[in-house]
Structure 1
Amino acid sequence: MSRSRLAYSLAGAALLAARPALAQAADTGAASATDAQRTMLWFVLTTLVLVLMVFLLLVVALINWMRPQLRQLYDLPTVHDTWSGRVLGLLVGDARLVQGEVRDELLDHDYDGIHEFDNDLPPWWKYGFYATIVFAIGYVTYYHVLKTGQLQGAEYAAEMQQAALLIAATPDDPNQVTTYTALTAPAELSSGKSLFMTNCAPCHGASGEGKVGPNLTDEYWLHGGEVNHVYKTIKYGVNGKGMVAWKGKLSGKQMLQVASYVLSLQGTKPANAKPPQGEKEAPAKAVASR
């Protein structure tokens, strides 16, 4: 090998060896830059808040210092009853702009000793009422006249459709029934029986006769008696009925073993069987353990 090729090889090896360190240094530099930007942002926001507080204090101090002059200006007849004069009145302690005119003039109405005064409605209330009128006109025009926006029913339907698409896109869709076939091997059914006795017998009985849960040996089913429907019930449970979801506690194969064992109990007629519940279905093909 020539010296130039050897040098190139050594340089390439050095670059490969240094790549992780360079990548780590780049990540560290990026993190440092992000921290610096965050620190600068908080500094700017804090400075802005302090400047605004100082400005407000200066405005309050200026108004307090000029209050005698403002009062003289407010008392002028040409200023006192104008809208701008009422705004000026807020600075000198007159809240007519917010509270309205309080005349306390007694009207001729007298009901069971209850007297009525002639006072203005508070302006803030009237302005709020006018705002609701403007909003109502805009709402009716937008939703009912131009039909630009969706009403509640259409919006709900669109959101439900989007949610259904999102759920269907997931590999673990509770609305999608699997296409398994019942297991028939004795070893599989034995494993299913062991799992059933440990997890299911307290509610369904050791022989599937039904206790808190329904009878699993008759032809009646609450959520379907085909193996994939039984598998789905085991996997996702039944909300509000006491049937817990075994997803995450049992593997997919174990849940299929239990479902297959449950179907093997069809027609066994155990003692003290619970009365039928649900809809009658054609009996599943017998799965015998031998």
Structure 2
Amino acid sequence: MLTLLKNTRLGLLTAAGLLLSSVARAQTLEANAPAKTAGMTEQEILFWGLLGLLGLLGVLLLVLLLVGITIVMQMKPQLRQLYDLPMVHNTWSGKMLGLLVGDATLVRGEYKDEILDHNYDGIHEFDNDLPPWWKYGFYFTIVFAFVYVGYYHLTTKGQLQVAEYETEMRQAALLVSAGADDPTKLTTYAALTTAADLSSGKSIFTTNCAPCHGQNAEGKVGPNLTDEFWLHGGEVNHVYKTIKFGVTSKGMVAWKGKLSGKQILQVTSYALSLQGSKPANAKPPQGEKEAVKAGGKPVAGL
């Protein structure tokens, strides 16, 4: 007996020693913790606080759900007796009560199992109700349709898809700089017509553009540039924009940063000067027909 008491006392002392050691270690870690958490911002503290609160609410709701299920299971015989009362059975609240005792009539509807006179190829039709969830869903779609038509088409307060797209494009344009490198802003240049500029444009075209568009702009991988059909606009500033920013989805590289603004306008003017030249082996037209327009402003600043 004495030996047992000694062993018990020794075990308690050992446990106490381990507990004190754990507490001391926790205090040491706590002392070092501020150096790590000192960098937490107010937003991070708020985030973790809200996350903890949501977790607590989730646990609370789960506990309430389990308690509710337990209460219903314990009271199921009494609830069944109440549900079987005639004054309760056919009411809306009675049907809700039926869900708790295992009667899904509120969801699936009534099964009358009465055969109608309809008979086709041996197939008989029963006079059963449609499921209430289906009927209420159908009624909701009718109400929704009237609200939708009234809001979007009669009062015109709601934006349709095209209006939403235009609004989003305007908002996106505000986020892009309005300088010379803004791809949404067209320039107002006029095509160059001097022999020196067109000669420089031809040299640039032969070196950089001919591999895709052909030596005479008849079109190879790229489209024919000598007809009146254009994929991205045939006016000088549209062609300038296409050359400068490219069309990545169609393999047209951006020449911004490789050619100066003056060089881009020179090759643009040269390409437009080939309109109607009708080279041999010209590629079939692509895009929309568009007459090339003159005009614009001088380009002395390039």
| Pairing 1:178–2:180 present | no
Of 161, 169, 178, the residue aligned with 1:163 is 169
Moved more, 170-179 or 64-73: 170-179
| Pairing 1:40–2:35 present | no
SS at 2:41 equivalent: helix
Equivalent residues in 2 for 1:1-290, closer than 5 Å: 31-139=40-148, 142=151, 147=155, 149-150=157-158, 152=160, 156-157=162-163, 159-160=165-166, 163=169, 167=173, 171=178, 172-174=182-184, 176-179=186-189, 182=192, 190=200, 192=201, 195-206=204-215, 208=217, 210-213=219-222, 220-223=227-230, 227-237=236-246, 244-248=252-256, 250-253=258-261, 254-260=263-269, 262=271, 266=274, 272=280, 274=282
Whichever residue aligns with residue 132 of structure 1, its letter is T
SS at 1:149 equivalent: coil
What is the TM-score with the length of structure 1 in the denominator? Answer: 0.65
Whichever residue aligns with residue 67 of structure 1, its letter is K
In the TM superposition, what whole-angstrom CA distance separates every residue of 1:186-211 from its partner, at most 9, and x where no partner exists? 69955x55643443111233454554
Question: 1:107–1:118: 8 Å Cα contact kept in structure 2?
Answer: yes
**Residues 159 and 105 of structure 1, relative CA distance in 2, 3 Å threshold:** same
What is the root-mean-square deviation of aligned Cα atoms in Å?
4.3
**Residues 41 and 248 of structure 1, relative CA distance in 2, 3 Å threshold:** farther
SS at 1:56 equivalent: helix
Unaligned runs of 5+ in 2: 1-36, 296-302
SS at 1:89 equivalent: helix
Unaligned runs of 5+ in 1: 1-27, 285-290
Moved more, 164-173 or 125-134: 164-173
What is the TM-score with the length of structure 2 in the denominator? Answer: 0.62
Give how far 1:56 is off: 0.5
SS at 1:115 equivalent: strand
Whichever residue aligns with residue 100 of structure 1, its letter is G
Question: 1:107–1:117: 8 Å Cα contact kept in structure 2?
Answer: yes
SS at 1:107 equivalent: strand
